[in-house]
Structure 1
């Protein structure tokens, strides 16, 4: 059972054949988790049994999904759950000024 919006989408969307069904899955998950992605911490799916990246998750989950809309929603959900959180200070070589 899904514990958040992204997990709900990944439970409902694999194998979806058309965009209307993809939209219905989005509505169902939105009703269950109205905070949508705001309730899903970046990288919260990472762990011993999780995927190593959003791309790995999307490849596994969306490969047999005909609906492009569903596949796109799964990619976003996978990225939210399995991509590492980005620290913009580290990414751009910035430092926090020291307080005086």
Structure 2
């Protein structure tokens, strides 16, 4: 993550499980929240901690008016599978993956 970027670490019984970082300046002109780092330690993968960290990113960026989350293109097929499972797909305009996090008026009945 860039110097000074906020980082949120998740712990389980005092043991670090994972982390998510936020780059509030990057992609803001496109309405995107940028996650430069999303990591879960190997022993705790596939237990729901990664999606909880994504949820924290949603809670961080929605109040800023961001309607999409972006993160770097995954380095492994396992990471790509995780991103796909939780709604991320390759961004049309660059080497990143993104997910819509805005409110869907149709779903909300407005």
Q: TM-score, normalised by structure 1?
A: 0.38
User: In proportion to residue count, which structure has more helix?
Assistant: 1
Q: TM-score, normalised by structure 2?
A: 0.35
User: In proportion to residue count, which structure has more strand?
Assistant: 2
The answer to which structure, 1 or 2, has the higher relative contact order (CA under 8 A, 6+ apart) is 1
Q: Of the two, which has the highest radius of gyration?
A: 1
